[in-house]
Amino acid sequence: MTILPINPAANANPDALRAFLGQAREAAVRAGRSKLVSISLAVDALDPLAVLESIFEPGEPHFYTERPDIGSAIAGAETAVAFEAHGLGRFEAVQRWIDDTLEHTIAVGDVNAPFGGPHFFTSFAFNDDVEASEVFPAARVFVPRWQVARAGEITTAVANLVVAPDADLAALTERVWRAHAKFVNFEYHEKSPVEAPASSLSVFRISEAGNYRGAVAQAVARIEAGEFEKIVLARALDLTADQPLHPLRVLNILRQRFPECYAFSMANGRGQSFIGASPERLVRVSKGVLETEALAGSIRRGAGASEDAALAATLVRSEKDRREHEHVLAAISGRLAQLGLKLEFATQPGLRRLANVQHLHTPIRAALPENVRLLAALAALHPTPAVGGAPLAAAMAGIRGLEGFPRGLYAGALGWINARGGGEFFVGLRSALVDGASARVYAGAGIVAGSTPEKEFAETELKFKAMLEALRT
């Protein structure tokens, strides 16, 4: 990426912007191909979700993720450039495309600010290939036209655009200048464009895809036969409401109720959105340090402190849940060790307490070797035994037939990568695929020796609760 020493804030006028875009067009002419131009500006404090609401269009892709508990949020809308991939080499193909795009990118402004510069918003489906009925590809990455992000007290706005050798400079200047004025003087509206209707939604039909109790019983029998040690099986509930479900309205509810989770929305630009509040970080890379975690083994929260503590103690003592957690931790350690990483983690799991459920939890970190990229680590980690199973190949081969439906982005990897190679991905859990007045809601549980259909069904009921309540509110 070429970073030019131009301060767009100090030269904030249409003539200066047009002159800069003229330089970018000349570079595109010399290169014989279009250039991606990225303009970053530090702006007054903004709520990225409020900005996304103001520019939301069902026919445009968007990406949003937020961790309210740490004051971090990023939103991107519309498409400057995009790429799709599938098959075993999808992670490598996305990395090559990102590298090629950055080689032909010109950036100015607060590029090194938190969330400055172009960001690559990326989704990887659970499987390397998707079925014809699925609405998201196996891998998709895009750079948005407009990006707004908050890191603590710092808000950064980014405009990305493609400048072709024959670009219309007047039209490009007008578009970027209009966006600049909006972000610098953004006005909130008291009534949100995605505000809930006067009465709560009435979900009038719920059906289930597949026979979960039967699938669990079959899985336990196959575990006893030695086919695999663990397999994660999901349930899918199909809901139909009496009016359209707006993904950003549901997202507002999730971010408020689950501030310790990744509230997220990924829209494909054709009317469907994958939304949720995921508790699980898959991988984060910042300043040469990789962070991930093992999150497996679950129990509900208690009504009061005493019951909550008793349930936590039951979880910690549970041989079945400890074994499930150890499967996940061992697999993560083994896969990252193959990349040359030396991992640091506690010898005993702690607890991760969410609003309605608590998990066994082991944070993991390691220095990232210079020759290992974020997407290489992501490819090694996905899917973890927390969403797939062990041995992985045997579990993956059994999941589709037992579940009876395609997962799509459920239990896939969603996140972003910046121009410096840092980024963050989370697992697409506690989630739903929203399409007009319909939604498919997902939840799963790990099946190991000793699992029972009733207990695993109850665990998924617990995990469904948050999303079902958000959709009905």
Residue numbers annotated as active site: 230, 280
User: What single-letter DSSP state applies at residue 344?
Assistant: B
Q: CA 100, CA 134: separation in Å to the nearest integer?
A: 28
DSSP 216: H
Cα separation, 273 vs 266, whole angstroms: 5
> Percent helix, strand, coil in the chain (nearest 5)?
35, 35, 35
Given a contact cutoff of 8 angstroms between Cβ atoms, the answer to whether 265 and 259 are in contact is: no
Nearest CA-CA partner of 99 in 187, 166, 36: 36
DSSP 11-48: T-SHHHHHHHHHHHHHHHHHHTS-EEEEEEEEES---H
Question: How far is residue 267's CA from residue 428's CA, in Å, rounded to a whole number?
Answer: 13
3-class state of residue 2 by DSSP: strand
Per-residue burial over 368-378, b = 16 or more CB atoms within 10 Å of its CB, e = otherwise: beeebbbbbbb
Six token digits for residue 424: 């963050």
- What is the distance between the alpha carbons of residues 19 and 77, in angstroms, rounded to a whole number? 26
- Give the strand pairing for 35-43 and 2-3: unpaired
CA–CA gap between residue 97 and residue 290 (Å, rounded)? 22
Burial class (CB in 10 A: 0-12, 13-18, 19+), 311: middle
Q: H or E stretch including 67?
A: strand 61-67
Beta-strand runs (E) in 114-200: 119-124, 139-143, 146-151, 154-163
Rounded CA-CA distance 456/357 in Å is 14
Type of residue numbered 316: V
Degrees to nearest 5, angle at CA 164 with 159 and 169: 70
Look at residue 166 and give its three-state secondary structure. Answer: coil
C-alpha 310/C-alpha 348 separation (Å) is 18
